[in-house]
Structure 1
Amino acid sequence: MCGILGVVATTPVNQLLYDGLMVLQHRGQDAAGIATTEDDTFHMHKGSGLVRDVFRTRNMRALPGNMGIAHCRYPTAGSAFDSALSQPFYVNSPFGIVLGHNGNLTNTQQLKEEMFRQDLRHINTTSDSEVLLNALAHELQATAKGCRLDLDTIFAAVSGVHRRCRGAYAVVAMIAGYGMLAFRDPHGIRPLVFGFNETREGTEYLFASESVALDTLNFQVLRDVEPGEAIFVDLEHRLHQRQCAPNASLSPCIFEFVYLARPDSVIDGVSVYEARLRMGEHLADKLVQYIPVEQIDVVIPIPDSSRPSAMQLAQRIGVPYREGFVKNRYIGRTFIMPGQATRRRSVRQKLNTVAQEFKGKRVLLVDDSIVRGTTSR
């Protein structure tokens, strides 16, 4: 899980990308990066840590240009401590490409070997995102006619990526001298939405992992990128879209709705908040088959993301809902922190009980997800 952004604007995008990353910080806390383009030159700054720690005023000034992409990282492949794995990634051939990726490839090792022996490309990190970048670069090189790119070439390259890469990938990329490319894997596992903003200078476009980024940056949501679809915005801000995968079908990751996404986001037309309410209703209907309601004095959620489910469950079974934990707002999401020792220590600092809500009561705790069990214990 990571957060990605891509902006094609009529004014400098560095602050816009920074603000968008702050909104998507819940999707990754290990590293952050921004790349912009100006006069066919890429400018990039990235590093380990939270968005607010990676970018200083001097870094923002060094990111000029009206087009850019951004990324905040949660490491599902590669080390959590290696700053070289922060994104976006850059490759200089062909044409020059920078790319940000949210997802996981399942055939990374096979692709690395193929690229080294057949494509003559060397992957220098353990990141599957660098593999994906080089797969896209190779397909662009293989399909390009001469020294120029056209729309058919770009979309054919994305089709080649779909043929070679297995797993989940939502991608934003910039091709030097041409524009911005966004695409999603044929199953639409990871979310990607885009929208627009009309200005006096022209139309601006924003791609993001969650619709909440568009809301807070005053962009109007157009729709989600379809599974297998590629969308290209050229330097004249013209939007081009094409389905690049045969037999594409939507199979989104259920964990986005359970836990990963913000509740005020809408993914593939489904409100995350509404989905969590419905999960609470289904949980209530299942619960009463196993536990007599009269044995429950109070329902208490594990903050924050299980609150909608807990509230709906409590209402459905007619039991009081209470807040029994106080959360430290200055501790980040613990499940994506690097290292189990860090996670365990942070959980103890993050949550503290409201003792009177537990004393002498039979409490039903509602936890929306148990990944490692650190919080539950």
Structure 2
Amino acid sequence: MNITHPFCDQDGDKLREECGIFGAINAPAAAPLTALGLHALQHRGQEAAGIVSYDGAEFFARRGNGHVVETFSAAEALAELPGFMAAGHVRYSTTGGAGLRNVQPLYADLASGGFAVAHNGNISNAMTLRAELVGRGAIFQSTSDTEVIIHLVATSRYPTMIDRLVDALRLVEGAYSLIVMTPEGMIACRDPLGIRPLSMGRLGDAVVFASETVAFDVTGAEFERHVEPGEMIHVGFDGKVESLRPFLPRRPRPCIFEHVYFSRPDSIYDGRSVYAARKAIGEQLAIEAPVEADLVVPVPDSGVPAAIGYAQQSGVPFELGIIRSHYVGRTFIQPSDSARHSGVKRKHNANRGLVAGKRIVLIDDSIVRGTTSLQIVEMMREAGATEVHFRVASPPTAHSCYYGVDTPERSKLLAARMDVEPMREFIKADSLAFVSIDGLYRAVGAAARDNAAPQFCDACFTGDYPTALTDLSAATDGAAQLSFPVGKVA
């Protein structure tokens, strides 16, 4: 169901969080506030952005491909979105692929009135539900899994909108954080496992919701609390906030990769500073995989906090041995056919005067396909490094994600095909080590992993999926027919 995003590093050699959502109700200028919040969440999706607003009588929508500033920077663009309630979405494409018809928030006129939804996550039985709905006569306008929720709400026979939404969500599996707008107010909710993040804040009389707390910092809102797993929060136009718990309680499994890479380091996730967690991962990595070296060098920018932690714990000096260009974007045009530099060299350059003659410890957040890691190691050697040791601030990524992360198919994940020593040979490093799964858990403030009852969703490392994978099983006619088994499914 996931597709590789066309503008990923190289051939998709990074895991990509697929969506960021922001919503505001009872705000004097809800759409401009939402656009600012989306800008803070731009790292969660850079393919397209959309905002839907409501002025008490009508819903208004504007969507566009590209970054938030490309669609919502002009005053006239935001003037098209009047009202005191708005929800927005930034995305890469997972289920459904690219195209304006899939840009969220999705909107529909239901019998009970307008209904707009912004969704972060992935519904792992969307194809099965869609086939059933189409068989009953439903007509879909997009190829997004999120539209399945709209159809389920529209066909529910319960009397109130909240009950219809609950009825719909009880039929879906997978991960979702939702911001829903109706003529009665705004509803925010997380799936019972809390796989994808969602937080609530306040700005004066306005209540705001966002995928990450950094959006509150940027908009001036005050972080109030995280939306709890399985919680549904309804905010009315009278300012009343109602918390509902309509689902059977389950042991939460928030995504641990938010700590490793997805969230901005200045966010708070699962009650812990992301920056502090990443530093702690680096410290743990230094304890588990020390090496004699002269410099600790981060792969920018995602490797920086872990590299600081590694350096502080090991006593090896931290230095910026790789300089990143912040001006290489998806519209980069090569000056000529003969100037065929790799994506890595366009984006990163060795600090040659610093690394020449040195033993280097490279710190990165993950290894996905391994192609970028290989090129960075080679770049260090070309710059004169005498030894290049690679340390990774996460366990080996050996399994695909089906919960809203753009992951290559499992056969293309380096750790699915190789053990650590062959991986080291592939990337041509002098040594290679990953933080252990227990070390990762400890670094983010948890006890060592309870294999019988894991505290996080860590399926990309362990293959221990917290939900059924109905569509995957249907598409492959059982995991046994896959070239690479999907792993344990809880």
Question: TM-score normalised to the size of structure 1?
Answer: 0.87
1:259-293 CA-partner distances (Å, limit 9, x unpaired)? 110001011212111111111122111103xxxx3
Whether 1:325 aligns to 2:322 is yes
SS in structure 2 opposite 1:92? strand
Whole-Å Cα distance in 2 between the matches of residues 225 and 104 of structure 1?
Answer: 18
SS in structure 1 opposite 2:373? coil
Residue equivalent to 1:57: 75
User: How far 1:317 sits from its partner (Å)?
Assistant: 1.4
8 Å Cα contact 1:89/1:130 also seen in 2: yes
8 Å Cα contact 1:196/1:219 also seen in 2: yes
Of 283, 290, 303, the match for 1:306? 303
Whole-Å Cα distance in 2 between the matches of residues 259 and 242 of structure 1?
Answer: 31
Of 68, 93, 106, the match for 1:75? 93
Of 118, 122, 141, the match for 1:100? 118
Whole-Å Cα distance in 2 between the matches of residues 222 and 57 of structure 1?
Answer: 30
In percent, how many aligned pairs have the same letter?
41
Equivalences for 1:20-35 in 2 at 5 Å?
20-35=37-52
**C-alpha distance 346-313 of structure 1, shift in aligned 2 (>3 A):** same
Of 22, 36, 53, the match for 1:5? 22
User: How far 1:242 sits from its partner (Å)?
Assistant: 0.5
Whole-Å Cα distance in 2 between the matches of residues 114 and 40 of structure 1?
Answer: 34
Q: Which amino acid aligns with 2:200?
A: F
Residue equivalent to 1:279: 281
**C-alpha distance 49-376 of structure 1, shift in aligned 2 (>3 A):** same
Whole-Å Cα distance in 2 between the matches of residues 182 and 72 of structure 1?
Answer: 17
**C-alpha distance 136-348 of structure 1, shift in aligned 2 (>3 A):** farther
Whole-Å Cα distance in 2 between the matches of residues 89 and 158 of structure 1?
Answer: 15
Q: Which amino acid aligns with 1:305?
A: S
Q: Which amino acid aligns with 2:70?
A: D
User: How far 1:135 sits from its partner (Å)?
Assistant: 2.5
8 Å Cα contact 2:295/2:361 also seen in 1: yes
**C-alpha distance 194-333 of structure 1, shift in aligned 2 (>3 A):** farther
Residue equivalent to 2:486: none
User: How far 1:159 sits from its partner (Å)?
Assistant: 2.9
8 Å Cα contact 1:196/1:220 also seen in 2: yes
Equivalences for 1:168-183 in 2 at 5 Å?
168-175=175-182, 177-183=183-189
Unmatched segments (≥5 aa) in structure 2: 1-17, 332-340, 375-490
Whether 1:351 aligns to 2:348 is yes
1:312-340 CA-partner distances (Å, limit 9, x unpaired)? 11111111111011112233599xxxxxx
Whole-Å Cα distance in 2 between the matches of residues 347 and 83 of structure 1?
Answer: 30
Of 341, 360, 364, the match for 2:361? 364
1:157-205 CA-partner distances (Å, limit 9, x unpaired)? 3432332111111000101x2111111111000000001123xxxx210
Whole-Å Cα distance in 1 between the matches of residues 328 and 168 of structure 2?
Answer: 38
Whole-Å Cα distance in 1 between the matches of residues 236 and 343 of structure 2?
Answer: 45
8 Å Cα contact 1:231/1:242 also seen in 2: yes
1:91-118 CA-partner distances (Å, limit 9, x unpaired)? 1113220111001111111110122234
Equivalences for 1:1-377 in 2 at 5 Å?
1-55=18-72, 56-80=74-98, 82-94=99-111, 95-118=113-136, 120-139=137-156, 142-144=157-159, 149=160, 154=162, 156-175=163-182, 177-198=183-204, 203-288=205-290, 293-294=291-292, 296-331=293-328, 346-377=343-374
Question: TM-score normalised to the size of structure 2?
Answer: 0.68
Whole-Å Cα distance in 2 between the matches of residues 333 and 279 of structure 1?
Answer: 30
Whole-Å Cα distance in 1 between the matches of residues 40 and 267 of structure 2?
Answer: 11
SS in structure 2 opposite 1:164? coil
Whole-Å Cα distance in 1 between the matches of residues 368 and 168 of structure 2?
Answer: 31
**C-alpha distance 185-319 of structure 1, shift in aligned 2 (>3 A):** same
Whole-Å Cα distance in 2 between the matches of residues 235 and 52 of structure 1?
Answer: 29
**C-alpha distance 287-14 of structure 1, shift in aligned 2 (>3 A):** same
Whole-Å Cα distance in 2 between the matches of residues 329 and 312 of structure 1?
Answer: 24
1:219-266 CA-partner distances (Å, limit 9, x unpaired)? 111111111110111121211111121023321111111111000101
Unmatched segments (≥5 aa) in structure 1: 335-343
Whole-Å Cα distance in 1 between the matches of residues 289 and 197 of structure 2?
Answer: 31
How many aligned positions are there?
346
8 Å Cα contact 1:33/1:46 also seen in 2: yes
Q: Which amino acid aligns with 1:112?
A: R
**C-alpha distance 251-168 of structure 1, shift in aligned 2 (>3 A):** same
**C-alpha distance 42-183 of structure 1, shift in aligned 2 (>3 A):** same
SS in structure 1 opposite 2:110? coil
1:73-101 CA-partner distances (Å, limit 9, x unpaired)? 11122223x22211110111132201110
**C-alpha distance 374-60 of structure 1, shift in aligned 2 (>3 A):** farther
Q: Which amino acid aligns with 2:174?
A: G
Residue equivalent to 2:413: none
**C-alpha distance 10-19 of structure 1, shift in aligned 2 (>3 A):** closer
Whole-Å Cα distance in 1 between the matches of residues 343 and 64 of structure 2?
Answer: 22
Root-mean-square deviation (Å): 1.8
Q: Which amino acid aligns with 1:90?
A: Y
1:120-161 CA-partner distances (Å, limit 9, x unpaired)? 42223221111223223333xx111xxxx4xxx51x334323
8 Å Cα contact 1:158/1:230 also seen in 2: no
**C-alpha distance 16-355 of structure 1, shift in aligned 2 (>3 A):** same
Q: Which amino acid aligns with 1:22?
A: H
